[in-house]
Structure 1
């Protein structure tokens, strides 16, 4: 199928498909006229890539995982990579919680009237 057809079928932009190719996540062949051609299962691959991005993985990490996905095996290395990504997300969540707590403190402090600040 051609790139426009794949984009429509997978629900992504043509630009996204070109980016996936640049990152080594998706492969195509070329027609005699130079058009990109994708296998029938490419839409499934694109949806997998989208899910991995949505899970917070980078294109580099996805590229490292796809050979295991293609082989249908989970290796100790792939599991460790996924666990490290989960730990990274957990750290981001903890940082966001601390930020929210600081913001809550600022909000609580701002609710107290301060003389000369236009309250009341």
Structure 2
């Protein structure tokens, strides 16, 4: 049985990603593409749909394309994969980073509320 291929536009429609995003992912080596006889990019349908959806999920969780590129197939080729042993540590580090950012934003919010309530800037922590 031969592989079904999708044009970049079809892949965009199937995944909800923009054509520009798909080109960007492909340019970073995150997708497998070939060139059709007309010179246009084509993508293996089943694999590419899963990969684009996974890339979108990982970006939404705060990972960079460089980090995603380092992830093994257990994260990129299985739709809905949440974690695998090879990625658990980087996911924990990303969570810790996000939690530090949230704590920093909370401190800033408290300080700004104090400034507004008192009409003056409180001393720095």
Q: Scaled by the length of structure 2, what TM-score is found?
A: 0.78
| 2:34 matched residue in structure 1 | 29
| 1:91 matched residue in structure 2 | 100
State the alpha-carbon separation in 2 of the partners of residues 17 and 60 from structure 1: 15
Unaligned stretches of 5+ residues in structure 2: 1-5, 121-125
Map 1:65-104 onto structure 2 (within 5 A).
65-70=71-76, 74-75=84-85, 77-104=86-113
Q: Scaled by the length of structure 1, what TM-score is found?
A: 0.81
Matched, 1:51 2:52: no
State the alpha-carbon separation in 1 of the partners of residues 67 and 36 from structure 2: 30
- Count of residues in correspondence between the two structures: 110
Kindly report the root-mean-square deviation, in angstroms, between the aligned alpha carbons of the 2 structures: 2.0
State the alpha-carbon separation in 2 of the partners of residues 27 and 52 from structure 1: 18
Q: Max radius of gyration: which structure?
A: 1
